[in-house]
Structure 1
């Protein structure tokens, strides 16, 4: 039986740094390149579980790789190559300190807050009388902070710009990319009889250019 890959300890030529995340290990090669390995580790509620699931990393990496290829006409992305099912090699960018969450339906944490009587979500006002799993008339972007440790926190568009986390110009571009990516994902899901309920996108910047 294939053993789960839960740890990596490589030493690539030109390697300058390694970061071990909850699921992915990222090796820096020189100043411009990253090697990201999707391991078989399992993370739940910000806790890494003791055992992994064989092939989980391959599945995660190949899903990401497929959708990066399928949306390259919408936004430039960091991927250069995927030389192994668990590995992506790409452009090193300076990540934006926000994550672009977009929701097509009211479910999950958004519904739990709504059920408690909360009618604002990341600065957006929600209408009365919504039902669980109801589709929004227009998908909502509900960004979060990008925490190095612990939980990401909801934040409004206005707060992001006011706090200088992202410039207004860049944020407006991130919004455009997010809507376009979600539309493409919705169409691709529908082709397979699926519904894209919600997702998140993370972006970075290098030499003045925004990458997914």
Structure 2
């Protein structure tokens, strides 16, 4: 019998709108011309449980030297063959299934920047990352089916093997970002048509867009490459029907994510989705959903005040780590990058847990004992595969 993730009612309707949704949308955003600057501020709401936060930070500091950067399940698990090393995950071929293992690696700018405690050694972060994603997979089945088969370990997701479309669907609600392909970077350089989207003049960084847009990218040799819908069809990356179906699902997923986030005091700013075709030809949502690895989140209550003052929004994702590297090196061209400060690395571990607790409304508990994580993963994956 296959091990399967617990699924909630796929026909579950959208939640009733929180009062903050209407009040936020009714306010005007002031398109002031001004320079924004990065301030390493900590949102007051990130201190919602000071004792819990201090506990996580202490545990993170104590785990900095024990991060998991690599796995070798092809040696320890029968039936696993080839291994692909992604920026964050190790992906193993298990025949009809893929085994995706989350490591401690933290990526941005198309390279690994740091190792974050709890992505590996004690299994904390991967549980947060995987549990956050699984929660969203369960909550969005009324919009689209997904490829998840089971989650036999804190670090592991087993998924149906799909023919993945070579296009990432990046959905954006704000003009922001710090990478070369971010909407603010290209807009600030004068581009007014991006990936087939016409953008109005006079916008400033972190301003809300008139409506959500999709800015697709394809995988290049070194960096993601922005592409328009017309180019996607012309290059044969997707058919028109496939693109239309996936685009519709991506926009619905994002709108639902924005609503749920706002109900919990957050703004879902942008995210990326990946889709593929399963063995039966059905289009499935793959990879992760609305995690802080793939998404940008801001604190809702302070957004407008900070926007008007020309300050960066209070974020709950890895953007502040990106900004630190942008201010201290050239993360695209420098061969050797500086080490991320320990306090930033530990703060990032806390923010991922904070986001999990805000979105799911569940309390996250630190493990009481250390485990031999590779042995544990090998045993759990072996058992799960034997049941499929």
Q: Same fold (TM over 0.5)?
A: yes
Aligned to 2:215: 142
Q: Is the contact between residue 99 and residue 201 of structure 1 (CA under 8 Å) also seen in structure 2? A: yes
Q: Is the contact between residue 174 and residue 209 of structure 2 (CA under 8 Å) also seen in structure 1? A: yes
Q: Secondary structure at the match of 1:65?
A: helix
Q: Is the contact between residue 107 and residue 114 of structure 2 (CA under 8 Å) also seen in structure 1? A: no
* Structure with higher helix content: 2
User: CA offsets per residue over residues 178-210 of structure 1, 9 Å max, x none?
Assistant: 011001100110111000111110011122111
Moved more, 137-146 or 165-174: 137-146
Q: Is the contact between residue 149 and residue 159 of structure 2 (CA under 8 Å) also seen in structure 1? A: yes
Q: Which runs of 5+ in 2 are unaligned?
A: 1-61, 120-124, 286-388
Query: Quick check: 1:45 aligned with 2:45?
Result: no
CA pair 42-120 structure 1, distance change in 2 beyond 3 A: same
Q: Secondary structure at the match of 2:266?
A: coil
Distance in 2 (alpha carbons) for counterparts of 1:118 and 1:107: 14
Residue number among 255, 259, 262 corresponding to 1:190 in the alignment: 262
- Residue 169 of structure 1: CA displacement? 0.5
User: CA offsets per residue over residues 57-90 of structure 1, 9 Å max, x none?
Assistant: 3332222221111112211101111111111111
- The 5-angstrom pairing of residues 1-212 of structure 1 reads 2=63, 3-10=66-73, 11-30=76-95, 32-49=96-113, 51-55=115-119, 56-108=125-177, 109-147=182-220, 149-206=221-278, 207-212=280-285
CA pair 112-20 structure 1, distance change in 2 beyond 3 A: closer
Q: Secondary structure at the match of 2:169?
A: strand
Q: Is the contact between residue 106 and residue 136 of structure 1 (CA under 8 Å) also seen in structure 2? A: yes
Q: Is the contact between residue 43 and residue 49 of structure 1 (CA under 8 Å) also seen in structure 2? A: yes
Structure index of larger Rg: 2
* Structure with higher strand content: 1
Q: Secondary structure at the match of 2:226?
A: coil
User: CA offsets per residue over residues 22-74 of structure 1, 9 Å max, x none?
Assistant: 110111112x1111101111223223347453333333222222111111221
Distance in 2 (alpha carbons) for counterparts of 1:106 and 1:22: 25
Q: Is the contact between residue 92 and residue 98 of structure 2 (CA under 8 Å) also seen in structure 1? A: yes
User: CA offsets per residue over residues 149-177 of structure 1, 9 Å max, x none?
Assistant: 41011000000011101110100001110
Distance in 1 (alpha carbons) for counterparts of 2:225 and 2:267: 26
Moved more, 176-185 or 8-17: 8-17
Q: Is the contact between residue 37 and residue 88 of structure 1 (CA under 8 Å) also seen in structure 2? A: yes
Q: Secondary structure at the match of 1:195?
A: strand
Distance in 1 (alpha carbons) for counterparts of 2:83 and 2:189: 43
In angstroms, what is the RMSD of aligned CA positions? 1.6
